[in-house]
Chains A and B, each alone.
Chain A
Amino acid sequence: MRKAWLAPVLIVVSIVLQLTVLNGLRLPGGGVPDLVLVVVAALAVADGPMAGAIIGFAAGLCLDLAPPGSLLIGQYALVFCLAGWGAGRLSRAVGRSPLRSVVLMAIVVAAAEVLSSALGLVLEPAQVTTAEVRVVLPATIGYDLVLCPFMLYLVMLAGTVLAEGLAAGAAAVGIRGVPARREGAQRRQHRPHQPHLAHAAGRTGDGWVGGGGDRHHGTRPSARTRVRFRPANGVAGSASGLRHSAGSLPHATPSLRLAGRRRGDGAIGNYVGSGSASRGGGPGRHPGMLTGASSRQFRPRGGQAGGSATAQYTVRRAPSGPGRGQTPIKFGGHRGDGALGRALGSGSLAPPRRPAPATPRLRTGTGRSALTTRGSAPRAVPKVQFRSAARPVARRPAAVPRFRHNSRLRLHGTTSGLVSGGVLGQSTFRAGRQRAGAPRLRFATGRRGSGPPGRGMLGGSGRSPLRGPSLRIGKQPRFGYGRRSLLSFLTGRRVGGSWLARKRVGSRSGTWLIGKRTGGLR
């Protein structure tokens, strides 16, 4: 919190400086900067409309009363009060951009000077003449505008230094350009390296989770930051929880899809290695990166209905590659076999149409998918090898997918390297409101008939390649479809869970359901 005495001290100092030093200056043009007005505007930009109005009124009144003042008492109070309120109000409207704040300040200051001159012309015609205004007003406004950015910076710096200490203040001002305004603003501020969850795309069942690349999935967020999810906000491969270098940032937006449209669908898949491979730099930085596939680019094909269980990935060569056709590799899952971390898809892998010998390829594994339910065709286990890769991707350590409290998923050194890490670490979900209880994010239930109704897991898949359904016995959803309804209340039984589930899934998105529960997303 900004120190309360900052504004009075600044105002008094600026008034004394204005009266003793600035007004005595002989500057070209005939005017002198109105330091008090600029300080009022800067404080208002920093503190908001109410504080701005009060500060402006007080500063103006002091300026009216301070000894050489010969105008009517209240003139400057009126003008500065309006200026402070206006600056504070507009600063909330324009956001936190430094440039816009300065422009806004300039507008407000110029308007206040004009208003002050007009008021003087009306109220004190003997002291203020039109010729004087014509000479003094432009020069004064000009000097004010010169002063604006410096005073804004100074006020911000002072506030930040007082609030956070010298080093933090300097860092905040120096790095971010605009230091923190207030704590509330800080909290509202966008933090790029935190997972956010916000409204998904408009479709039912879409929920995108993306985390920043610089964040380990296990890192617990600070207590005062709320977990928010934002659509398409992440960095490719961020779900793996490993740090990225700047060079490996993706072109495409990763989407970590939770839940599918249909129950029992969906997986948490992230586009491992998407985009970054096309740069060709730094092979092996990321466990999921397509090593050496510099001419390749994974392009997510948008969201398929039903979430990423049926997500298709198309591996394309760069258009510049001579003599190479497109090699679409589709990872299609079928309904019901979504999996945690099926990054490159565990479903049927469409073979490349025309495999080029020198081109890195995905080799489909032959193992039978653990999550195959139909048993009709052998599903591919994601096992990706590239010929040009120095070592198998699968050997690389993978991040631990942690989507559940007390997850039994463990890191196996030799497990599939494409298992995506969990950006939804349990600690992430325990922040904020859900701190007390276990994270219960259920986007979809299990399939009907596969267990007690209303069971679900993150990602919505009824099945995981790594865990059988039996492991989830005993879990009851805390919210979602198995919630006690009026019907169940009346009948005393948990009636209607699945029916309600169908109803709700049909009309509400999983994100909405989360938001309804957590109260944070609307």
Chain B
Amino acid sequence: MTTPPGAASAPVTFTGAQLLEVTRLQRLYPDKRGALLPVLHMAQETFGYISLPVEEYVAGLFDLSPAQVHEVVTFYTLYFQQPKGRHVVAICHNLSCTLAGAKDILARAREKLGIEPGETTHDGRVTLQSVECLCACEAAPMAQVDDRYELNLTPEKVDRILEGLA
């Protein structure tokens, strides 16, 4: 796998502007800890994923122990503890999507990418996930591709979407 931006060797520090943003976020809440989830989102965007050194760094910004940050990071599905691909393809496998053929959609993505859910392609291009309800059941089967929802999927549409990811 290629080394993602911000992997272990890079120093874990926010820029001055980012630190100002951290302070601004912390002041929005009656207790600055309220800003922990937003700051972890920022950290993931900046460093690629939430490594143990990133947890330690963020803990320092909140006067928390690394363990307190770790238990938060590991609780939520959107924080990655390992490097992720440049794109994340999350295919919904809950009830309405299953009723609309989600199994075939996931099978097509696995075949096309040559990986299982939870894995990343060797070139670091795509991480595949099989996820719970994304609440777009009117357009099932569906998936989240990075920030966007891809609706009314067919195996052919999955091919086109995956081919379009650089």
Do the two chains bind?
no
Chain B residues within CB distance 8 Å of chain A: none
Interface residues of A (CB under 8 A from B): none
